Amino acid sequence: MLYDNGQLASVYARAYELTKRDDYRHVVEEMLTFIKREMQDQGGGFYAALDAESEGQEGKYYVWTKAELSSLLSASEMELVTAVYGLGDEPNFEEDTYAPQLSQSLADAAQTLKLTEAELHEKLVPIRAKLLTARNQRKRPLTDTKILTAWNGLMIRGFADAGRSLQHAEYIATAQRAADFVLQNLRTKDGRLLRTYSQGQAKLNAYLDDYAFFIDGLISLHQATDDKRWIDAATELMDLQIASYHDAKNGGFYFTSNDHESLIARGRNPVDGARPAGNSISARNLLYLAKHADKPEYLNLATGAIQSSASLLQRSPAAAPMMALALDELLATQQEQ
């Protein structure tokens, strides 16, 4: 799924920035190479997902038997792969197949093999390239080529954070291209966001997450480039979000706009799941834009969004870690004033 790769790229990029651990950098580089190769549209946007199945079998595209690996690799390469990816253990997938994964950290594997971590990584690169070439001959899983505004926002942040942390200009350029795609192709004539793009057509009213995650992606580009156009675009969309989604009575935002299709009740979900809650990201967006776009009125809106989750934060803070982070940022802002 696109959304988990976007979030993981940001986390690993930040981890590398803090620790300078090469294994974290390798994860970011390999992940983003995969996304550009497998999930980027020619126009710059990112596809939603890859199917888990091919030829009617889950995981078939990605797994290997020992016989397949032995036929592709030399004896020394096979020995290395067996040690690093745990092929000496019982098969970890169906029908005597392996989904190769590290059986221990790369640093520990290198120590066992009496190599440095850099030496081990260097030896694995051509082996993995050889396996990728072989895998490309298989029947590919289907690609869900929908381009979703919200999920693209998460992936834009992933690329922008990686570009900033790893000082990699190409990643930032990729994020900019995706942001431009959404701005040009997933909007109505009056500038409001649409939800999904497929086969040259954008449709469906946006949900809160589309605004929240995409605005966050634009903010990440401002953080990476200091280019004012990203702040301007983010502020324009935030004003549209406030006009259509704001809950004036309780603070925070509804999941649907005030002109969405008729519903019995306009819902809101403050709990972080596989993706963060739109209200949490919106609160953080408001705090950032209040400072960097000179929009002090956004502070009250951010405060209202955070207060709307006060009981949840008191009762079960682990259910809303992103809102807890927004609260921490609000308190820091108040101390600065």
pLDDT in tens, 272-302: 999 999 999 999 999 999 999 999 999 999 9
Yes or no: is domain 147-336 CATH 1.50.10.20?
A: yes
Cα–Cα distances in Å, from 249 out to 242, 253, 290, 308, 315? Answer: 13, 10, 21, 10, 22
Quick one: what percent of the chain has pLDDT higher than 90?
Answer: 89
pLDDT at 135 over 90: yes
Provide the pLDDT confidence category of residue 262 given band limits of 50, 70 and 90.
Answer: low
Structural domain boundaries in the chain: 57-141, 147-336
Q: Please list the alpha-helical segments (H only) found in 226-316.
A: 228-245, 278-292, 297-307, 310-315
| Contact of 290 with 268, CB cutoff 8 Å | no
The mean per-residue pLDDT over the stretch 98-111 comes to 91
Phi and psi angles of residue 176, each rounded to the nearest 5 degrees, phi first: -65, -40
pLDDT at 265 over 80: no
pLDDT in tens, 59-84: 999 999 999 999 999 999 999 999 99
pLDDT value of position 263: 67
Residue 207, exposed/middle/buried by CB under 10 A (0-12, 13-18, 19+)?
buried
pLDDT value of position 337: 67
pLDDT at 260 over 90: no
Spatial separation of the C-alpha atoms in residues 337 and 328, rounded to whole Å: 15
